[in-house]
Structure 1
Amino acid sequence: MRKLSVFLVVLFVVSALFSWANGGGGKTISGTVQGVDGAPLVGSTITLVGSGRGTTTNEKGFYRLTGIRDGAYTLRASYIGYKTKEVKVDVKDNVTLNITLEAQSVLGSEVVVSAIRASKRTPMAFTDLKAYEIKKQNTGGDVAQIFELTPSFVATTESGIGIGNTAFSIRGTDASRINITVDGFPINDPESQQVFFVNMPDITSSASSVQIQRGVGTSTNGSGAFGATVNFQTGALSSEPYAELNNYLGSYSSWRSNALLGTGIINNRFSFDARISRAKSDGYMDRATSDHKSAQVSGTYYGDRSTLKASVIYGEEHTGISWTGVPSSVIDTNRTYNPEGIYYDSKGVRRIYDNQTDNYKQTHYLVNYTNKLTEKMTLNLGFFFTHGEGYYDNYKDDAKFSKYGLPTITVDNVLRKKSDFIVQKWLDNDNVGSTYSFVYAPVESLCFTLGGSVSRFTNDHFGKIKWAEFNHGIPADYEWYRSKSTKDDANTYLKATWQATSQLSFFGDVQYRYVNYRMKGLDDDMTNISQNHRFDFWNPKFGAYYTLNDQNSLFASVSVAHREPTRSDYTDGIKSDKGLTPERLIDYELGYKYAGSGLSLGANLYYMQYKDQLVLTGKLNNVGYPIRENAPKSYRTGVELMAAVKILDNLKWEGNLTLSQNKIKNFTYSVELYDNQNDWNFVKMNEYNLGTTSISFSPNVIGSSMFTFEPLKGFRVDLTTKYVGEQYYDNSQSEKRKLNAYLVNSLRAGYDFSIVGLKNIILQVGVNNLFNEKYIANAWIYRAEFQDNSEYIEDGLFPQATRNYWCRLALRF
């Protein structure tokens, strides 16, 4: 509670200093951005190159940058469908700079993603991250760490640091219900419905912008958004050739390197971009190693009114398994202990199997064609194909032959029912599909978008025995199970935006989604999991956006979303006789935005009403996936507060705070009852009606803060703070199964400068977890009860790294 109080005091006291921003000195650059026809370009992006400062134009095309120190700068103005323009400006006094942008003879990739993104006046809660903001937060970690300071965002990692298997939630919504797209293409795995960014390492280094929508958001492609949407845009058009090298070094033998190359636009017709990356780490947890490779290559042809872009994104990961965490019985004495791979040989000697690893390769092939048919109509067609294959490599100590469908054997006249095994569990999958969108704007105030996608996903699940301690006649690469899944997914949506008056606009969106999911064969425990499921979902959305004046605006919306269970939901459910059903969400949003010269504020109220929400039980299955169950009635409600203020000429602060309640109504907590701890004969399910309880893994308080101090031009110091309130790791709301709140601070300093022959040199150093907080970000638990009122507990906690260090050297040519 003390840490939360300190955080709240900092958050609101600093916000109260906004008056300093209006009289804090410095110069102002202001003006308008318009097209050649004189029409204001609303929502144009204005950036002061190299300073990290930026803004957007208002509904009159006006912009203002304040607190600018004397010096020579480059101001960049950009807008979808127009050529980006850079203007040199010498600041000695306040500057008025009006900019006129010319329509592009080529279409940029912004046109493609705009069909599924929220625009400035879309009545939804969202955060836009530009390339410079992404780079600022990219300190060598994966996606979860880079986005950690955005509202309602909680990041976790199995290895304890930002490299390896990471995950995140938004408003308490786990990753399996967050829709992810790259350049408008669906990236979520259709069965688990997650994106494992460990299979797409360093994708953020290719990103030119990212939009994070909270709540249902706008209709998009692929798996239905059920709480949040994240879409990446890569490969923004560069007018000039470029080359960039980035190298990160950090604690726990961590390093990440990448190289980015681009030709710029050639003869106003072609451009090519490429990235190659490598990351390695020993991890904070024992044997939670990472060895990741990735590459991205794209080529674009620009016609007079069209573009054709092809991209290949490759990822390869080899990661030490650490998904079982640290048992609570060990955490106080050895918080980096990893039980995975530990076994005892025939003489009782403790051994470690060093190849207890997760290994996977994935390649995305993306092709997109865009044609501006007329000044009022734009057509976009996309085609994608993804192939992935990989396996877990596990040492199984003293496992029964019968578990693998094998008979007992006699060795040296001794009947052997058990043996040690090395097994691999494989996935081999393909996802092929197409996306489309047609944008029609009959008049300037009205725009329609018809879009959608269709795909077929096939996945083979199978297991191989690679070695057995007692091997009498087991064939090489013996398969003990195999199943095949096929999932057809299609959706179409119609969106409309209407600027009814200069101040009032309306948004409407309706989506139909069809899912046909079929499984056939045996799971890894020899259970027949054959089943078929079909769903037809209708997801309407409606909202309004009202501009009070140049600085204040309001929005309100109501949206409906549906989501089907995942593969593991079905396979776990069939084994526990729980028939899982799809979940439904009605999302109510009410927001306010203030944009002043030295202060910006935002507030968003939300009420997310669920039917049959699939909530995390706190348990894991045998391959580390969370086990979930339907909660008939539940809700998430809260307020998100955002603020940014220029305190002094060279000091600014930005932060956000989410206060929420996340509840299950009339919750019945079920626990397996067995006769005793020796025989483990199942008796029944003990059921406890607990009334209203907190949803697991849903902290009621989430906050972040960042102070930025720039004592010299190009030299910056950032102090970041992340607060996550207490959370339960099952739905019983038991104090015994609760993660404590944590407050983590990190400090980084960097110098960005230029020399002859190099456009930029960036030197950075940083300290993560500055005050050496020992905290736990995630957990799981399995409980059983016995007739003598005793209990059995098996659990795993995921401690995060204590104080650690990193440095970066970046060169841009």
Structure 2
Amino acid sequence: MKKLLIAVITVFLLPVFAKAQFTISGSVSEKSKHNSLPGASISLKNTNNGTSSNTKGEYQLKNIKAGKYVLTVSFIGYETQHKTIEVNGDQQIDFAMEPSAYLADEVIVMATRATEKSGTTYKNLSKSDIEANNFGQDLPFILNNTPGVVVTSDAGTGVGYTGIRIRGSDATRVNITINGVPLNDAESQGAFWVNMPDFASSVESIQIQRGVGTSTNGAGAFGGSLNIQTSAPALEPYAEVNSTYGSFNTLKNTVKIGTGLIDNKFSFDGRLSRIQSDGFVDRGASLLKSYFLSGAYHGKTDLLRINVFSGSEKTYQSWNGVPEFKLRGDVNAIKDYIAKNGLNEADAANLLNSDNRKYNSFLYKDQNDNYWQDHYQVLYAKQFNDKFSFNGALHYTYGRGYFEEFQPGQLFADYGLQNPIINGAPVLSTDLVRRRWLNNNFYGATYSFNYKASSSLNFTVGGAYNQYRGKHYGQISWSQISSNLNNTDHYYDGDGNKNDFNIYAKVSYSPVEKLNLFADLQYRNLTYDITGKDNDLLPLNIHDKLNFFNPKIGASYFIDPKSNLYASLSVANKEGNRDDYVNANAGTVPHPERLYNVEAGYRIKDAHYSAGLNVYGMFYKDQLVVTGKLSDVGAPIRQNVPNSSRIGVEFDGSYTLSRYFLINANAALSRNKIKNFTEFLKNSDTKEEITYNYTNTDISFSPDAVLFGELVYKPFSSFAIALQSKYVSKQYLDNTQNEGRKLNGYWVNNIRLGYDFSFKGVKNMNIGLLANNILNKKYESNGATYASFSGGQRITDNYYFPQAGTNLLLSLNVKF
């Protein structure tokens, strides 16, 4: 009777036990010296539940359901530990960490990455996050699901020329480093992922810092930073073959090999990739090739790594976009355009008969962009003792390439050429093919020293010195009528030389256990010289020297082990790009831009959810924007506007609904304004300049809302299906906030599937499917507008870059 009563009570209490939630707590210390290890990462595998040890090395994980888990603890410089535990009540589990047999690669980027103690807004993407979304599209499309990010593709497919904006700021205002080495082109300040195809296959992790972020190397971050770490060594030898095939004849082939750790000291890794695609737009084809080689020596206290990676691209130009009247299918406007511009028969037929959304104005068969870029990195890190460490890098990047274009009816005089005499009379013009070349060298050194005075006090001192030497020149490779120039001669030569030095100091201090204070001071000095002749044959003699001081302060308050508040105030300064200097009217130099950035937020992480909510204010002085003003030769000029701002709120969260369902979501809502804006238009009848004044207009290409949601269904551990949905609100093409010059808002839905399995001789096989734009939404993600004044009225020409409708990418990844 007694046993029966116990059994009945147990049955009734089963639901209570099933829903019971427990706590795991303990400490993390160094095994031999028994010193506590604050900042160690503790997590339950395959859950969102994780935390860090406090200043005493203690940790606590709450709200854990009964069941079997793998508890993982990691700390840089120590061997990661895993413990399998059975949770049926509160438990205390301590960890005694052993020093690692080798120094981890994370130390290479540690100085330039933000942490919970930095008081900044950031998001980390792990190797698994990157692999799950890597179907051969450029890296911006892999980052598309992160807060405040908007991506675009000239060819409409994510392969070829692609772009990324963070908080409305384009790539020239997003600082990008690879292992702490600057990637942005020193002159244009952009980053061209087409030159680095399939680079995501060699990436270990990425940190996206929104806003100014922490001090790093390269140009100032005015919208965000991408801090990229390349692949760390595998412990065991491996080989991997990845292939993707999909719509528009998109094909990616990747081969990866690695030795694993040899004698616990050496490792060698390599990758070879090839990507090709016809593109969505007509003749929007790309042929991309790349490789990545890495060799490393791993000591207990030092690390030496040598990386060599390279990319080459041949991309048919689809830079002009589709005219608005063509996109809307306005036949009468098309015919008017043909008549007014005197298009030849082939161009007229192309404009009339091509698909409205796929139209490409270029017909010349070799209208290609060709570029090759080689990167060399020597990375070294040294852990002198448990308090003092160093890492540094020597780097060299060599880029060279050209774009080729057919130009009808060109005046010989515009190329500095003599007019040939035929039948006794001078010939003034000819059809020709020209190539505009860029040949550049970028090299330098970066370094940082880190001193951990105590568990509550940490110092970092670092910096860099980099030099850029760029050559710009043009060639006429073919001319219908020859003149006095060989096809190997240069009809213009220009040089751009830039020296960039910076030094920074950071300190992190915890006066009490729950509070951390952070300060980051950077000094940057640069000299920039532009000489020779530009492509319009005008002489260049521009020299500028700038000194910037970029201070940052922040604080984090840890409410408990799973949640914290943070706030920061930062200042950043940034010089203009090459075009700002070259296109400025004679005798003028663009003022540098200044940004005051305020960030504040709240983060929380629990067993079933993680979330972050932040507000920000970005207040600009002398931001450079397009105003419609033209230079003496008709080139567009960006001008400084006195006051502009971006104010917004961002959310990023994840919630586990059950063992089968997971929700990921983020949102960025913002208000992006120029206080007073003057537009300039050229009156083609009188040659005078007309001005229009505006107040509180939206900054161009800055949507008020960027929303993302993802529902993941995982019926068993090796299979997952995700429904992804992204909304981007309308964006204006210029700074006048005119409804006739805008990109319409769009809502796009994708589906991603992944299935993993293994069999004898194969470690893992993954079959993946990415179905993009499953509802076949017709939308444009980028555009341009040009305006003039004639006949007493404004004339506006809008151009758009349509993105592909429903398209598929199917991948097969095999690991041996």
TM-score (norm 1): 0.90
Return the match for 1:388 from 379, 399, 407: 399
**Which amino acid in structure 1 is aligned with residue 703 of structure 2?**
P
Per the alignment, residue 57 of structure 1 pairs with 52
C-alpha distance after superposition, 1:531-581 (max 9, x if no partner): 001100000000100011133210111000000000011112237x86421
Matched, 1:467 2:471: no
C-alpha distance after superposition, 1:62-103 (max 9, x if no partner): 4659899978x8665433222234456689999986554322
Cα 1:609–1:417 shift into 2, 3 Å: same
**Which amino acid in structure 2 is aligned with residue 735 of structure 1?**
E
Distance of 1:719 and 1:26 partners within structure 2: 31
**Which amino acid in structure 1 is aligned with residue 707 of structure 2?**
G
Distance of 2:343 and 2:464 partners within structure 1: 48
Return the match for 2:513 from 498, 502, 506: 502
Distance of 2:316 and 2:48 partners within structure 1: 40
Q: Is the Cα–Cα contact under 8 Å of residues 113 and 184 in structure 1 kept in the other structure?
A: yes
Per the alignment, residue 370 of structure 1 pairs with 381
C-alpha distance after superposition, 1:207-229 (max 9, x if no partner): 11100000100000122222211
Return the match for 1:42 from 39, 44, 57: 39
Matched, 1:83 2:87: no
Matched, 1:239 2:235: yes
Per the alignment, residue 690 of structure 2 pairs with 686
Return the match for 1:103 from 99, 103, 111: 99
C-alpha displacement at 1:383, in angstroms? 0.5
Return the match for 1:150 from 130, 136, 146: 146
Matched, 1:213 2:209: yes
Same amino acid, percent of matched pairs: 37
The secondary structure found in structure 2 opposite 1:719 is strand
Per the alignment, residue 780 of structure 2 pairs with 776
The secondary structure found in structure 2 opposite 1:156 is strand
Return the match for 1:789 from 777, 787, 792: 792
Per the alignment, residue 736 of structure 2 pairs with 732
Distance of 1:110 and 1:455 partners within structure 2: 23
Q: Is the Cα–Cα contact under 8 Å of residues 33 and 57 in structure 1 kept in the other structure?
A: no
Matched, 1:426 2:433: no
Identify the range of structure 1 (240-249 vs 115-124) with the bigger mean alpha-carbon deviation. 240-249
C-alpha distance after superposition, 1:407-444 (max 9, x if no partner): 33344566532211110000111011001111111112
**Which amino acid in structure 2 is aligned with residue 659 of structure 1?**
L
Distance of 1:566 and 1:169 partners within structure 2: 17
Per the alignment, residue 287 of structure 2 pairs with 291
C-alpha displacement at 1:708, in angstroms? 0.6
Matched, 1:762 2:757: no
Per the alignment, residue 610 of structure 2 pairs with 600
**Which amino acid in structure 2 is aligned with residue 159 of structure 1?**
A
C-alpha distance after superposition, 1:111-170 (max 9, x if no partner): 110001001221000001111111112232111110011111111111101111111111
The secondary structure found in structure 2 opposite 1:134 is helix
Per the alignment, residue 482 of structure 1 pairs with 493
Matched, 1:573 2:584: yes
Q: Is the Cα–Cα contact under 8 Å of residues 25 and 649 in structure 1 kept in the other structure?
A: no
**Which amino acid in structure 2 is aligned with residue 138 of structure 1?**
N
Per the alignment, residue 6 of structure 1 pairs with none
Matches within 5 A, 1:156-555: 156-333=152-329, 344=344, 352-412=363-423, 415-555=426-566
C-alpha displacement at 1:348, in angstroms? 9.5
Distance of 2:204 and 2:564 partners within structure 1: 27
Return the match for 1:648 from 649, 653, 658: 658
Per the alignment, residue 15 of structure 1 pairs with none
**Which amino acid in structure 1 is aligned with residue 311 of structure 2?**
G
C-alpha displacement at 1:644, in angstroms? 1.3
Distance of 1:410 and 1:795 partners within structure 2: 41
C-alpha displacement at 1:315, in angstroms? 0.8
C-alpha displacement at 1:626, in angstroms? 8.4
Cα 1:810–1:659 shift into 2, 3 Å: same
| Gap regions ≥5 residues in structure 2 | 1-15, 351-361
Q: Is the Cα–Cα contact under 8 Å of residues 43 and 61 in structure 1 kept in the other structure?
A: no
Matched, 1:583 2:593: yes
Per the alignment, residue 811 of structure 2 pairs with 808
Q: Is the Cα–Cα contact under 8 Å of residues 628 and 681 in structure 2 kept in the other structure?
A: no
**Which amino acid in structure 2 is aligned with residue 211 of structure 1?**
Q
C-alpha displacement at 1:648, in angstroms? 2.0
Matched, 1:745 2:749: yes
Distance of 1:666 and 1:76 partners within structure 2: 54
The secondary structure found in structure 1 opposite 2:172 is helix
Distance of 1:763 and 1:61 partners within structure 2: 41
Q: Is the Cα–Cα contact under 8 Å of residues 245 and 259 in structure 1 kept in the other structure?
A: yes
Q: Is the Cα–Cα contact under 8 Å of residues 618 and 781 in structure 1 kept in the other structure?
A: no
**Which amino acid in structure 1 is aligned with residue 657 of structure 2?**
I
The secondary structure found in structure 2 opposite 1:736 is coil
Return the match for 2:719 from 705, 715, 720: 715
C-alpha distance after superposition, 1:488-543 (max 9, x if no partner): 00000000001221100000000000010001011111122220011000000001
Q: Is the Cα–Cα contact under 8 Å of residues 620 and 780 in structure 1 kept in the other structure?
A: no
Matches within 5 A, 1:629-668: 629-668=639-678
Per the alignment, residue 133 of structure 1 pairs with 129
Per the alignment, residue 8 of structure 1 pairs with none
Q: Is the Cα–Cα contact under 8 Å of residues 48 and 608 in structure 2 kept in the other structure?
A: no
Cα 1:765–1:316 shift into 2, 3 Å: same
| Gap regions ≥5 residues in structure 1 | 1-21, 676-681
TM-score (norm 2): 0.90
The secondary structure found in structure 1 opposite 2:194 is helix
C-alpha displacement at 1:55, in angstroms? 3.9
Matched, 1:695 2:688: no
Identify the range of structure 1 (374-383 vs 81-90) with the bigger mean alpha-carbon deviation. 81-90
C-alpha displacement at 1:810, in angstroms? 0.7
**Which amino acid in structure 2 is aligned with residue 323 of structure 1?**
W
Cα 1:284–1:371 shift into 2, 3 Å: same
Q: Is the Cα–Cα contact under 8 Å of residues 619 and 645 in structure 2 kept in the other structure?
A: yes
C-alpha displacement at 1:662, in angstroms? 0.4
C-alpha displacement at 1:725, in angstroms? 0.7
Cα 1:269–1:333 shift into 2, 3 Å: same
C-alpha displacement at 1:57, in angstroms? 3.3
Q: Is the Cα–Cα contact under 8 Å of residues 178 and 226 in structure 1 kept in the other structure?
A: yes
Q: Is the Cα–Cα contact under 8 Å of residues 465 and 477 in structure 1 kept in the other structure?
A: yes
Distance of 2:453 and 2:120 partners within structure 1: 24
Q: Is the Cα–Cα contact under 8 Å of residues 564 and 603 in structure 2 kept in the other structure?
A: yes
Q: Is the Cα–Cα contact under 8 Å of residues 565 and 603 in structure 2 kept in the other structure?
A: yes
Number of aligned positions between the proteins = 776
Cα 1:66–1:403 shift into 2, 3 Å: farther
C-alpha distance after superposition, 1:465-496 (max 9, x if no partner): 00011114432323111101110000000000
**Which amino acid in structure 1 is aligned with residue 204 of structure 2?**
S
Structure with larger Rg: 2
Distance of 1:692 and 1:184 partners within structure 2: 38
Cα 1:539–1:84 shift into 2, 3 Å: same
C-alpha displacement at 1:600, in angstroms? 1.9
Cα 1:418–1:76 shift into 2, 3 Å: farther
Q: Is the Cα–Cα contact under 8 Å of residues 673 and 697 in structure 2 kept in the other structure?
A: yes
Q: Is the Cα–Cα contact under 8 Å of residues 29 and 97 in structure 1 kept in the other structure?
A: no
